[in-house]
Amino acid sequence: MSKGPISQFIEKNFLHFNAAALVDAAKGYETHLTEGGKMLVALAGAMSTAELGISLAEMIRAGKVDIISCTGANLEEDVMNLVAHSHYKRVPHYRDLTPQQEWELLEGHYNRVTDTCIPEEEAFRRLQKHLEDVWHAAESKGERYFPHEYLYQVVKSGVLEQYYEIDPKNSWILAAAERNLPIICPGWEDS
């Protein structure tokens, strides 16, 4: 199997210490998959806000991920990025914000995740109504689902397509929903 430019670069230049450990880990992952092994990916922190979907969605579609354990924040933030990307606000000086500046962001309906603010109306509220619809439908039927299954119902229904602001191929939740990938979400805020 020929290696792509990133793999070639890493093998040539990542020769010592933690860099070499990355090469070893990548080779181990490749061997694991080649031998038919299954892969669990664990996500914590603001990975979805950082647009992990660009690479993770492709891995899911290629069958290189079989189960995910993640925070609820990562579940919802991937969908929020899908429907509100152009409304996100970058705050490169986030370490230097005063309490007043933090308050002004909050009052402006921006929810800060490190250096990025998620817009409340375009992200949270767009998603909220559709989530509430599937929650109420399940409740009326006496059905219960895992958090990711509710999101799968929403994204599979197509109701959010009118809001898509990124290429859907870069949403890991869409990719996971397509494969009906199991997701463990031990806690909505922390995993």
CATH class of 38-184: alpha beta
**Sheet with strand 183-184: strands edge to edge:** 40-43, 67-70, 183-184
Positions in the chain whose pLDDT score sits under 50: 191
Q: Are the CB atoms for 184 and 148 separated by under 8 Å?
A: no
User: Which pair of tokens denotes residue 8?
Assistant: 């070639």
Do residues 124 and 111 make contact, with C-beta atoms less than 8 angstroms apart?
A: yes
Residues 115-162: tens digit of each pLDDT: 999 999 999 999 999 999 999 999 999 999 999 999 999 999 999 999
For residue 174, list its beta bridge partners. none
Sheet containing 89-90, strands listed edge to edge, beginning at the edge strand earlier in sequence: 89-90, 116-119, 110-113
